[in-house]
Amino acid sequence: MSSHPLHPPSSPADAAADPLVLVGPQRSRAWLESAARATGAGFFTWDLRDGRITALDARLRAMLALGPDQLPDAQWLDLNVASGDRQQLETCVREAAESDGLITARLRLTGGQSTRDLELRATLERDAQGEPFAVSGALIDVTEQIELRRRVRDSQARFRTLMATTLVNVLMVRADGTIVGHNEQVCRYLGWDRGSLDGLHLAAFDATGLLAALVHGRDGQAPAGPVETQVLTRDGAARDVLVSAQYLDFDGAPCALLVWVDLSRHRSSERDVVEQQQRLRAALISGRMGTWEWEPATGRTQWNEAMYLLTGLPPGEPVDAAGFLALVVPEDRPGLEAYLARLLEHGTDYEAEFRVRRPDGEVRWLAGKGAVMRDADGVVRAMIGVNFDVTDRRAALAKLQEADRRKDEWLAMLAHELRNPLAPMVNAVRLLQRGPLEAAQAMAVRLIDRQLAHVSHLVGDLLDASRLTRGHITLRRRPTEIADALDSAIESVRPLIEARQQRVTVVTEGQPRPIDADPTRLAQVFTNLLHNASKYSGAGDAISIRVVEGEDSVRVELRDPGEGIAPELLPRVFDLFTQAEMSLERAPGGLGIGLALVKSLVELHGGSVEAASEGSGRGACFAVTLPRRLAAG
């Protein structure tokens, strides 16, 4: 029989009835109960031969949340004991078998809602042949002790970090003036080496004696601060500081914790702020940018000097919101008042342009930007912002708009003037093609025919560009098959494709269905794209068209292996009059209008167009996406 005081229970009922399931000799029972109550320990026996826990007392049952008839087996241990701890315990048992038989280990129970830490202390039991057959001992729940130690460590670490990283200067001084603690910042501030202040007397840098008075403040001889004084650095320089004292006991002796901040830097910062404000004021005045603040609840307003310069009012004259609005010209005033009312109700950012009439009668354009300041309840506290004169910018913009309008009119007139002689020239070519021609004459007629077609295409693009910029293009929608529009485009570009011995392939994915579109304009979109693809591709190249029929839209991808698009040109490839820079001998011609027309016509249909290219000489892909029905609005 084992010498351990615990023995296997005769039945589960005995285990439930007796708080100490297995009892040893009568003289040790009272000692075990007393020790268990004092340490919170629970006793157990673990049979190494089959891995089962064969005995445990009621206290350990409660600790492990086990039922009265439940004994933990190997499966329970696998589920509830951290795998690493189980392996460590087995290692401890093997080591104990080779030594004095004492086992000490830390186990973590992970099967419940939270992890618990247990400390195991046990002895290895051996049979008559000296072979280990069981482990008997106690488990103590040390979760709270470990958590407490962790919190203490964390608290100490936080305090050390705070002391090390704080930018204020901290000294701990005994009542006799001896320094017993400090942070690194105070060493740097006073110019002493790290740790060299310990044991030093406060008088070494107390320039006025006020620090010593603060140390004795708990005796009522001085206030606890904060008060202004001076300290001396190691090289004798005096520095202004703001210091306060906190009193405490350290190692059983009364001490003062002195904390101070440097005032020299704060005063320098105050001077810097004043200088910055003066520079800002000068910049605002020179830039004629007026700043203002308005409190709607009180009507109080504040202007800077530049606001008076902008409005022409005498500097310093009181002006409220009504007075400022009275300066706004009658044509702009109602709109500005309505905008401000909406802004005060639920807005945040303010931005407006309006005209004001100065006292001398001059009308100026002002632009304003600002913000609405609200409290936590959403009530408006104030509006703040800036105003600046944009009269010159407005005049320049008006001139640009007028120039743009005249340019559009000139382009329209030019296109019409160019178009007029084209019709008789085309008719003349058709007449020449009917009669017998010699080979050279026939070649010349074909050349003229191709060039006339090219010029007609350019003039048509020019006319359409003019119509688009003036909003004169309307779509004649009807159910349209994408295949019909592509066929029309291919037929239009066929002479150019055949002349360059190129190939065009069309692949359709999905079930073709009509879309709501203008067939003529849609064919124009694909004609321009296909014309570009042929123009910028080499002789004998293959151009591919892929049509993807979707439920709500259709996507047409046109890909060519030609010149490609440079990365810097790609973002503006659809802008009007945009062309790649090419040498004259390689320039394929054109006005840079085609892709701009493509984008405008596609967007008129409610669709989108994208361009992609891996760079110059690596081809390009244009993808047109069109809805089956025009989106509402």
Residue 256 and residue 134 share a domain: no
- CATH number of the domain encompassing residue 198: 3.30.450.20
**Band (7; pLDDT cuts 50, 70, 90):** very low
Residue 271 domain-assigned (yes or no): no
- Over residues 553-575, the pLDDT tens digits come to 999 999 999 988 888 888 888 87
- Residue 45 belongs to some domain of the structure: yes
- 303 and 255 both lie in a single domain: no
Higher pLDDT, 400 or 19: 400
| CA angle in degrees (0–180, nearest 5) for 286-315-341 | 90
Residues 481, 620: one domain? yes
Q: Which of 412, 436, 459 is the last residue of a domain?
A: 459
- The DSSP letter of residue 168 is S
CB 507 within 8 A of CB 544: yes
Please state the rounded mean pLDDT for residues 472-488. 90
What are 146-171's pLDDT values in tens digits? 888 888 788 767 766 777 777 788 88
At 3 the pLDDT is 39
| One domain for residues 442 and 493 | no
| 439 contact partners, CB below 8 Å, separation of at least 6 | none
Question: Residue 577 in contact with residue 591, Cβ under 8 Å?
Answer: yes
Instruction: Mark whether 494 and 603 lie in a shared domain.
Output: yes
pLDDT tier for residue 586 given thresholds of 50, 70 and 90: very low
Q: Specify the 3-state DSSP secondary structure of 5.
A: coil
Q: Would you state the pLDDT for residue 271?
A: 72
Span of 3-12, 110-119, 127-136, 491-500 with lowest mean pLDDT: 3-12
Q: Which domain holds residue 253?
A: 166-266
Per-residue pLDDT for 545 more than 90? yes
Mean pLDDT, residues 449-476 taken together = 74
The arrangement of strands across the sheet holding 289-294 comes to 301-303, 289-294, 380-389, 363-374, 349-357
Tens-digit pLDDT profile for residues 349-401: 889 999 999 999 999 999 988 888 988 888 888 988 888 889 988 889 888 88
Residue 60 pLDDT level (bands cut at 50, 70, 90): confident
Q: Mean pLDDT of all residues in the chain? A: 82
What was the pLDDT predicted at 248? 77
Are 128 and 180 within one domain? no
Whether 482 is covered by a domain: the verdict is yes
pLDDT at 482: 94
**pLDDT for the residue 41:** 85
Cα Rg for the chain, rounded, in angstroms? 47
Q: Looking at the structure, do residues 382 and 453 belong to the same domain, yes or no?
A: no
**Per-residue H/E/C for 228-252:** EEEEECCCCCEEEEEEEEEEEEECC
- Is the same domain home to 512 and 538? yes
- Are 593 and 541 in a shared domain? yes
What is the pLDDT at residue 20?
41
Q: For residues 598 and 621, give the distance between their C-alpha atoms in angstroms, rounded to a whole number.
A: 14
Tell me: do 138 and 208 sit in the same domain.
no
421: which 2 tokens? 């002689």
Q: What is the pLDDT of residue 581?
A: 45
pLDDT above 70 coverage of the chain, percent: 84
Q: Say whether both 123 and 229 belong to one domain.
A: no
Predicted confidence (pLDDT) at residue 32 exceeds the cutoff of 90: no
Q: Which of the four pLDDT bands, split at 50, 70 and 90, describes residue 605?
A: very high
Asked if residue 220 is part of any domain, the answer here is: yes
Does residue 63 sit within a domain?
A: yes
Are residues 383 and 400 part of one domain?
no
Tell me, yes or no, whether 466 lies in a domain: no
Q: Is residue 23's pLDDT more than 50?
A: no
Task: Say how many domains are in the chain.
Answer: 5
Q: Write down the pLDDT at residue 221.
A: 44
Q: What band does 479 get if pLDDT is binned at 50, 70 and 90?
A: very high
Query: Residues 219-241: what's their mean pLDDT?
Result: 79
Cα–Cα nearest to 364, from 343, 388, 342: 388
- String of DSSP letters for 507-540: EEES----EEE-HHHHHHHHHHHHHHHHHTS-TT
Domain boundary among 459, 493, 513: 459
Instruction: Note if the pTM is more than 0.95.
Output: no
Q: Which of 291, 290, 292, 296 is nearest to 382 (CA)?
A: 296
% of the chain residues with pLDDT over 90:
20
pLDDT score, position 29: 58
pLDDT of residue 620: 93
pLDDT at 101 over 60: yes
On whether residue 79 sits in a domain, the answer given is: yes
**For the residues 468-497, what does the mean pLDDT come to?**
87
More confident residue, 267 or 346: 346
Residue 1 maps to a domain: no
Domain boundary among 408, 433, 459: 459
